[in-house]
Amino acid sequence: MKNTKITLSDSEIPEYYLNIAYYLKKYLMKLPDPPLNPVTKQPVGPADLSGIFPMELIKQEVSIEEKIEIPDEVRELYKLYRPTPLIRAHRLEKFLNTPAHIYYKYEGASPTGAHKLNTAIAQAYYNKKEGTTTLATETGAGQWGSALALAANFFAMKLVVFMVKVSFDQKPFRKTVMETNGAEVFASPSKVTEFGKKILKSNPDHPGSLGIAISEALETVVKNKGYKYSLGSVLNHVLLHQTVVGLEAKKQMEKAGEYSDVIIGCVGGGSNFAGIAFPFLVDKLKGRRKTRFIGVEPVSCPSLTKGKYKYDFGDTAQMTPLLKMHTLGSGFIPSPIHAGGLRYHGMAPLISFLYNEKLIEAVAYEQKPIFQAGTDFARTEGIIPAPESCHAIKSAMDEAIKSREEGKKKVILFNLSGHGLLDLNGYDKFLHKKL
């Protein structure tokens, strides 16, 4: 009998986060360039960030320790949904008539339906421990906002969310999820911040962007005592927390008796891709494996495939430190595609560095082909995937087709970072040729 699900027990939930910076320094003997103060152009220090983040997260941001222990309180909450299953896509393989073995790590099994809860719980924990009363954040498609709303609720904190307006309109029930867990949600650009009002004055119908929403969240933090900012992707500590995904997947692949030739994740800010890839990338850095790593992005927001590798602001109002990353420019406003979580002008500095060092690859797809891939996946595997995850599915399918054409078996692993049950508006438009 063919195994479909490879599972782990609660006791096998990782006890630490894996820090890729340690391995980059040890084996590549170099690290990404540090964030800079935009005025002095000098590396930022803890004092520059202490008004925005709790100190423990600041330490994690710059750490080069190999492992960061996961607090017991965080692991206890992880037990609600971790370990997540690794699933062999037998029916998709048959549909593609491919010799490839396709596996996916299903992060949609989390309470809020996506991988974002892995870092949301950790960030809420560290903030609560240091006395934060209220968190402020941005969200694109609403997966991050939904995750942080639940995490803030677990730790009895308030949350203010600025949701990119186009996604606010496309996915109204994400707002409902956030409000169910006590969050206050505003469409961004909003009328509750000075920067939001400035944007709306020049364009009342502005669709918004993650860069604008970040600016509004930061302005809210700066103006209110007891507030801290929480980010769902891009920064080192966020990518660090997501490595629980790959650490579990590595154990599960061992149980399946296989090792991945290709590992794939969608990339917006980079946390989903980093989560699945970094624990396996360690073996490549050590020279033990030649695994290919593919980050998949939308053609409409191609920060890796078309962006420039340079220092840029992480937000539109230019309030953040300068980050060395692949960027389309902090003022870039992407088209209103349904994969709202991938509509960010820049890419995580760690991901950008790895791409620049040619340790990972990147591809970009148009919106219609990724919805077709998501539809094919739903009809074979039974899960309607989020539009963001459809990008990874499309790439995995293309790699499986190449495997068939070459007549070679490949082991393909991708991160199914979330379900699409609150993204049905996009599927409806695709299926009725209105996309």
* Integer-rounded Cα radius of gyration of the chain: 20
Residue 286: strand, helix, or coil:
coil
| Cis-peptide into 111, omega within 30 deg | no
Mean pLDDT on 294-309: 96
What percentage of the chain has pLDDT greater than the value 90?
A: 91
pLDDT tens profile 341-354: 888 999 999 999 99
**pLDDT at 339 > cutoff 80:** no
pLDDT given for residue 1 in this prediction: 54
**pLDDT at 255 > cutoff 60:** yes
Residue 13: strand, helix, or coil:
coil
| Structure tokens, 353 | 């560095």
pLDDT tens profile 350-391: 999 999 999 999 999 999 999 999 999 999 999 999 999 999
| Cis-peptide into 189, omega within 30 deg | yes
pLDDT tens profile 396-415: 999 999 999 999 999 999 99
For 57, the enclosing helix (H) or strand (E) is helix 55-62
Q: What is the DSSP letter of 84?
A: P
Sign of CA dihedral 381, 297, 285, 71: negative
Residue 263: strand, helix, or coil:
strand
pLDDT tens profile 4-54: 999 999 999 999 999 999 999 999 999 999 999 999 999 998 888 988 999
pLDDT given for residue 234 in this prediction: 95
Residue 184: strand, helix, or coil:
strand
- 86: closest CA among 435, 412, 423, 431? 412
pLDDT given for residue 94 in this prediction: 98
**415, 107 in Cβ contact below 8 A?**
yes
Instruction: Please list the residues that pair with 416 across neighbouring strands.
Output: 106
Q: What is the mean pLDDT of the chain?
A: 95
Alpha helix (H) residue ranges in 224-316: 236-241, 243-256, 271-285
Mean pLDDT on 151-180: 95
Domains of the chain: residue spans and CATH:
5-13+71-114+237-431 (3.40.50.1100)
Dihedral through CA 118, CA 119, CA 120, CA 122, nearest 10?
100
**139, 186 in Cβ contact below 8 A?**
no
Q: Is the pTM of this model over 0.85?
A: yes
* CB within 8 Å of 86: residues ≥ 6 apart: 5, 6, 7, 103, 104, 105, 106, 248, 249, 252, 253, 256
Q: Which amino acid is at 128?
A: K
* 177 or 335: which leads in pLDDT: 177
